Amino acid sequence: MGNQLTARIDARIQYRYDDSGECGREWVTLTAERDGSRTVRALCELDDVKLQRDATISYDPSWNATDGYIHMRRDDQFLGVGWFHFSATEITCEAMTAAEGRVSQAVRPDGPIGVFAPHPVFLDPWHATRHDPRGPEVQELRNCVTSSPLWHGGSGPLIYLQHRRIRRLPDAEVTVPAGSFSCEAYQLLPSNPLLPPIEFWVHGIHKCFVRLRWDHLKATYELVEYAAR
């Protein structure tokens, strides 16, 4: 018998600015296989930049990305599409974008490949999968991979490497519209020291997104629907 699903999580995330209210949303399905591998499917809408992102990313049992597909439209026009593949030492991407045209990339980082978080908000907290609980409170995250250097991810999709730091905070009970969750808490520390940290909370063995706050954007992202099977 082949792999069987051990979990399916369906979720919806609301994006909200302090001064203007809801500014976007994200529908997510996470499926977990019996061997521990996971696939995340995310449809993201960002109203203020008129961006739609459709992403499907798969990860092995150790939270290493194996492959991914991203398609984006902006203001009802094609923006870009890309397919990503990961080996132990190399990242490749085949893309077609409105700005760059046809692009083929192959990147070999100078060390282990970090987390792949190509802008669905659900995946941002998966930086926590690289925090060693036996290590110091603040740890380096090298060779993290994203699909765009812009905060909203509205370019590419192409390979970009970034180095970050993460800080572990005390566990907390967090209440959002979807319910109350026992959470691990973290701060992602931007490379620019002038920017405030990104705070986020995750729940359970799948590091399921619960809440994210970034004072720089004066924005809060919260889980508003959650169903686990």
Averaged pLDDT for residues 110-123: 92
Phi, psi of 195 (to 5 degrees): -90, 145
The 10s digit of each residue's pLDDT in 137-189 is 899 999 999 999 988 889 899 999 988 899 999 999 999 999 999 999 999 99
CA distances from 110 to 88, 107, 198, 226 (A): 12, 10, 26, 39
209 token code pair: 């997104």
Mean pLDDT, the chain, as a whole number? Answer: 93
Query: Band of the pLDDT at 25, cuts 50, 70, 90?
Result: very high
C-beta of residue 176 within 8 angstroms of C-beta of residue 210? yes
Averaged pLDDT for residues 82-108: 96
CA nearest neighbour of 146 among 130, 134, 157, 131: 157
Model confidence at 119: pLDDT above 50: yes
Predicted TM-score (pTM) of the model is 0.90
Whole-number Å distance between alpha carbons of 120 and 173: 24
Examine residue 133 and say whether the peptide bond preceding it is cis (omega within 30 degrees of 0): no
The 10s digit of each residue's pLDDT in 35-94 is 889 999 999 999 999 999 999 999 999 999 999 999 999 999 999 999 999 999 999 999
The reported pLDDT for the residue numbered 151 is 84
The reported pLDDT for the residue numbered 5 is 64
C-beta of residue 64 within 8 angstroms of C-beta of residue 46? no
